[in-house]
Amino acid sequence: MSETTVQTTRINKTCMTLGGVALVAGIILALVGAMSGGGDPHAFQHGYFFGWTYWACMAFGCFGVSLLHHAARGHWGFPVVRIFEAGGGPITLAVFFAALIPVIFGWREIFYPWADAARVAVDPVLQHRAPYFGGFFAIRYVIYAGVFILLSLLNQNWLRQEERTGDDRWWKKRQYWGGLFLVVYVILTNFMWTDWMMSMYDHWYSTIYGVWIMVGSALLAFAFTGIVLGTQYDKVPYKGVVVPWLTKDIGNWMLTFTMVWAYFSLSQYLIIWSGNLPEFTKYFIDRSLNGWIYVGWSLIVIHFFVPFISLLSPTVKRQPWRLALVGAWILFVRLIDVWFVVTPTWKTSIGINAVDIGMFLFFGGVWMLLFGWRLAQAPLITTMTPRLKEAVDHA
Amino acid sequence: MSLIDMNKHEMITGEWDNRSIDGRIGDIVLDPNRHLEAKLPGLLGKLLPQNMRSPWFVMAGIGFVFVNILLLCVTILVLTGIGVWGNNQPVGWGFDIINFVWWIGIGHAGTLISAILLLLRNQWRNSINRFAEAMTIFAVMCAGMYPLLHTGRPWVAYWLFPYPNVMALWPQFRSPLIWDVFAVSTYFTVSLLFWYVGMIPDFATLRDRATSAIPRHVFGMLALGWTGSAKAWHRYMHASIMLAGLSAPLVLSVHSIVSFDFAMAIVPGWNTTIFPPYFVAGAVFAGFAMVIMFSIPIRKWYRLEDFITMKHFDWMAKVMLATGLIVAYGYMMETFYGWYSGQSAEMALLYNRGNLANTPYSWAFYSLILFNVVIPNFLWIPKVRQNLTALFWISLSVNIGMWFERYVIIPISLSRDYLPSSFGYYTPTIVDFGMFFGTIGFFVFMMFLFIRFLPMINMFEIKELWHHMSHHKEHGHDVVATGEAH
């Protein structure tokens, strides 16, 4: 067994163990929480969607970032592309698409005003949107799932062929199609989040919303990559590959997406605040009452200033373990942000219950198990990629 | 044969395939096989301020004619008032704001190329950053004229700044128009400073090479006593990085604030949250188009093929394509969410933009789509990116399209907002057109003056690249990937 395979198995075991524990703990907590009730008759469904959203963002983020790498051909991506592929590969995407079926088909009346016939009957805006949310809603779901899984499958196959044969036409193929795939990804992701999250509001909409969630997802993917590099830099096969330029590049990506997230958040808030129109302000009013405003204010500090200032430092980006710490912090603050974006939609009072935590752990467990499993399917570093040598030389 | 070997000739000629496109970028600016044989002074001779050739006279002459038209129009405007423009209720913003936003956008490529690519250590910028920075300065000058004149009394424009006064005047800080005053003036100041600082070592070279007293004294003063010592270089590099660090957020902030001029208002089609990033992308889109449009003829007239290679054009075209796709995404979002909103005013706006038969402005919307979305998408084809004629016309199309974008945003929304009783139609006057073409003339004239008197390509950065190449060749290494490693 080669050193590469051994190391892959070690990471794989860690992820599988973590994933298994999180999965079991999540199920127990969710069941306890659901049985104790707590005043919310739909606590389970709400917790389910919250947990799913965070980890689906991770999966979609990994997939998107892998496309970004294929399109941009940056050196930074060669040593870590398998992390993205394992985190957002076709099977992972398929599982997360399947896990949404209960929400958008089974519990749609709980989440979506357009699915409530009584509300639609008295609301002209919902009536106007009715054709879009009729049968076409299900067709769109099939399109999103089908296209994402297909693109991911193609990229995965090309990567494996490249690994097997060493023929550079496979990486050229990934790069050749990368730009177009990225365009398709951005457009579909926007409509996906509009369908599944934005449409939980009857009138509110924001044109930046889709890319805003997309940027948060990419940030999650890079933060997780930072953690992997930070914990594996001195072990094979990363030893000698995780060098300062690589951690610096990944750190710079984290910094970039932190800034873009803040820029989009501020733009969205400022424009809606200034316009002060009732159909738009509803979103922020929900997030400013009953203590939610403190979460919003704290996000400015914990989600922007803390990672921003940390990642400005070259020392942090050069030392893998420090980068891993910042990555872990970003995973945590993304959780707060997803909670702030998702939960106030249906919950006026601030608070988190056992189901929310349980479902977060459950889906985290599912993602980690899938990640560990998929990571073990091929060498951690795509050794046959011609440009990997360039990337290492570049160090 | 390695990728790098295969790439050496092709980078100059543009006859590359996918492999050579991916070759290392250290070979972009200088060809080690040819340029190391040449003596450095001979090489730099090509970069000195250019002698007047016949294209210079033609272009500067045309520019000068339009500068005079601009002066005439400004004189008429100041003497008569802004009633000489086509602005009137309900369209209070017309060519003035369209042109302001258009010019500010064009200015963005300079800062992007200079500051952001400097921070990213992408040395492929070396051949084009100087004149891209010059474009920024002159484009911001053109932009600044419009809001200044739109105040109606430009001689009291200083009232826009907060200063203690007996008239109890104080700017309305909640207005993005006031943010614009600070954003644009800061942008201009930092860009000017960055441009000037970037030229100091070259001013010293010009001083040292001057053969007569006047240039020696003028360039001597501009060089600020530059000696080229290690200490001076060390501080110079720090200053450059700091200015680049200051400039980079300005690229984002200036056009974001310009977008707020619209997005903060509740006019149909304006109060939309995608505006800031989509305006920034549009600015870079237009800016790169102008850089390409300008560099294609200049490269030919002044025989700069060795410095501005086909690979530069390929990359600039890719940046243009990427930003063009973001802009197209913005149009898609505007259109989809206009429908999704279910608001009558937003849907009426879509109707006004899209219905060819019954609305007065739909031709502008479809022109925008043609020039800004359809035509730039030909850049997906590598052969198009390597064809300078095609690239020139596509860049022209982008600049026309970006102008139409602002035309679509401003008069269409303002002429038909919430009250049908106040619907109107905007017709620009001859003074509007005179000022628009006048500022284009001013821009061209200034750019050609710049070419005549200042080095349009960074001489010291070319020297640095040459030094790296010769150093590596002497030590038997392959040419290093200077674009990224240093």
Give B72 to chain A, closest Cα distance, Å: 39
- Is the pLDDT assigned to residue B26 strictly greater than 50? no
The two three-digit tokens of residue A81, written as one number:
């592309």
Q: What is the pLDDT of residues B396-449, one digit of tens each?
A: 999 999 999 999 999 999 999 888 898 999 999 999 999 999 999 999 999 999
Task: State yes or no: ipTM above 0.95.
Answer: no
pLDDT level of residue A185 (50, 70, 90 thresholds): very high
Collect all residues of chain B within an 8 Å Cβ-Cβ radius of residue A275: 263-266, 271
Give A5 to chain B, closest Cα distance, Å: 30
Say if the Cβ atoms of B273 and A75 lie within 8 Å.
no
Q: Quote the CA–CA distance of B245 and B119 in Å, as a whole number.
A: 7
User: How many Cα neighbours within 13 Å face the side chain of B24?
Assistant: 23
Collect all residues of chain A within an 8 Å Cβ-Cβ radius of residue B18: 172, 176
Q: What is the pLDDT of residues B242-294, one digit of tens each?
A: 888 888 888 889 999 999 999 999 999 999 999 999 999 999 999 999 999 99
The two three-digit tokens of residue A57, written as one number:
């963002």
The conformation of residue B419, written as its DSSP 8-state character, comes to -
What percentage of chain A's residues is helix, strand, coil (to nearest 5)? 80, 0, 20
* 3-state helix/strand/coil string of B126-188: HHCHHHHHHHHHHHHHHHHHHHHHHCCCHHHHHHHCCCCCCCCCCCCCCCHHHHHHHHHHHHH
- Is the pLDDT assigned to residue A127 strictly greater than 90? yes
On whether any CB of chain A is under 8 Å from the CB of B341, the answer is yes
Provide the greatest CA pair distance for chain B: 79
Q: What is the pLDDT of residues A131-176, one digit of tens each?
A: 999 889 999 999 999 999 999 999 999 988 887 887 778 878 888 8
Q: What is the pLDDT of residues B369-400, one digit of tens each?
A: 999 999 999 999 989 998 999 999 999 999 99
Across residues B325-348, what is the average pLDDT?
Answer: 94
- Is the pLDDT assigned to residue A354 strictly greater than 70? yes
Q: Quote the CA–CA distance of A58 and A213 in Å, as a whole number.
A: 11
Closest CA to A227 of A147, A298, A155, A328: A328
On whether any CB of chain B is under 8 Å from the CB of A130, the answer is no
Collect all residues of chain A within an 8 Å Cβ-Cβ radius of residue B266: 275-277
Give residue B5's pLDDT. 44
- Is the pLDDT assigned to residue B35 strictly greater than 70? no
Which are the contacts of B122, defined by CB distance < 8 A and separation ≥ 6? B25, B483, B484
For B486, name the nearest residue in chain A, comparing CA atoms only. A394
Give B266 to chain A, closest Cα distance, Å: 6
Instruction: Please state, in angstroms and as integers, the Cα–Cα distance from residue A50 to each residue in A47, A112, A335, following that order.
Output: 5, 15, 10
- Is the pLDDT assigned to residue A15 strictly greater than 60? yes
On whether any CB of chain A is under 8 Å from the CB of B252, the answer is yes
Give residue A42's pLDDT. 86
Cα B454 vs. chain centroid, distance in angstroms? 19
Collect all residues of chain B within an 8 Å Cβ-Cβ radius of residue A203: 342
pLDDT level of residue B30 (50, 70, 90 thresholds): low
Which residue of B256, B258, B274, B413 to mutate against A (max A Cβ within 10 Å)?
B274
Give residue B52's pLDDT. 65
Give residue A172's pLDDT. 81
Under 8 Å between Cβ of A54 and A342: no
Give residue A380's pLDDT. 80
Give residue B55's pLDDT. 87
Across residues A47-52, what is the average pLDDT?
Answer: 95
Give residue B245's pLDDT. 82
User: Burial level of B330, CB count in 10 A (0-12/13-18/19+)?
Assistant: buried
pLDDT level of residue B20 (50, 70, 90 thresholds): very low
Residue A264 vs residue B29, higher pLDDT: A264
Under 8 Å between Cβ of A338 and A49: no
Q: Compute the Cα dihedral for B288, B290, B293, B297 and give only its sign.
A: negative
* 3-state helix/strand/coil string of chain B: CCHHHHHHHHHHHCCCCHHHHCCCHHHCCCCHHHHCCCCHHHHHHCCCCCCCCHHHHHHHHHHHHHHHHHHHHHHHHHHHCHHHCCCECCECCCHHHHHHHHHHHHHHHHHHHHHHHHHCCCHHHHHCHHHHHHHHHHHHHHHHHHHHHHCCCHHHHHHHCCCCCCCCCCCCCCCHHHHHHHHHHHHHHHHHHHHHHHHHHHHHHHHHHCCCHHHHHHHHHHCCCCCCCHHHHHHHHHHHHHHHHHHHHHHHHHHHHHHHHHHCCCCCCCCCCCHHHHHHHHHHHHHHHHHHHHHHHHHHHCCCCCCCCHHHHHHHHHHHHHHHHHHHHHHHHHHHHHHHHCCHHHHHHHHHHHCCCCCCCHHHHHHHHHHHHHHHHHHHCHHHHCCHHHHHHHHHHHHHHHHHHHHHHHHHHHHCCCCHHHCCCCCCCHHHHHHHHHHHHHHHHHHHHHHHHCCCCCHHHHHHHHHHHHHHHHCCCCCCCHHHHC
Under 8 Å between Cβ of A184 and A154: no
How many residues are present in chain B?
A: 486
On whether any CB of chain A is under 8 Å from the CB of B354, the answer is no
Domains by residue range for chain B, with CATH: 51-154+178-466 (1.20.1630.10)
For A126, name the nearest residue in chain B, comparing CA atoms only. B342
Phi first, then psi: give them for residue B417, nearest 5 degrees. -100, -120
Mean pLDDT of chain B: 85
Give residue B50's pLDDT. 65
Name the packing angle between helices A43-72 and A135-165 (round to 10°): 50
- Is the pLDDT assigned to residue B11 strictly greater than 50? no
- For residue A138, give the 3-state DSSP assignment: helix
Facing residues of B88 across strands? B91
The model's pTM: 0.90
For A177, name the nearest residue in chain B, comparing CA atoms only. B380
Report angle CA B85, B71, B133 to the nearest 5 degrees: 100
Provide the greatest CA pair distance for chain A: 67
- Is the pLDDT assigned to residue A235 strictly greater than 90? no
Give A129 to chain B, closest Cα distance, Å: 7
Residue A352 vs residue B192, higher pLDDT: B192
Q: What is the pLDDT of residues A73-108, one digit of tens each?
A: 777 888 888 899 999 999 999 999 999 999 999 999
- Is the pLDDT assigned to residue B44 strictly greater than 90? no
Across residues A344-358, what is the average pLDDT?
Answer: 88
Across residues B452-459, what is the average pLDDT?
Answer: 86
Under 8 Å between Cβ of A384 and A326: no
Which residue of A207, A214, A280, A283 to mutate against B (max B Cβ within 10 Å)?
A207
- Is the pLDDT assigned to residue B28 strictly greater than 50? yes
Across residues A316-327, what is the average pLDDT?
Answer: 94
Across residues B157-177, what is the average pLDDT?
Answer: 92
| Cα dihedral B196→B198→B204→B210 (10° resolution) | -70
Give residue B18's pLDDT. 39
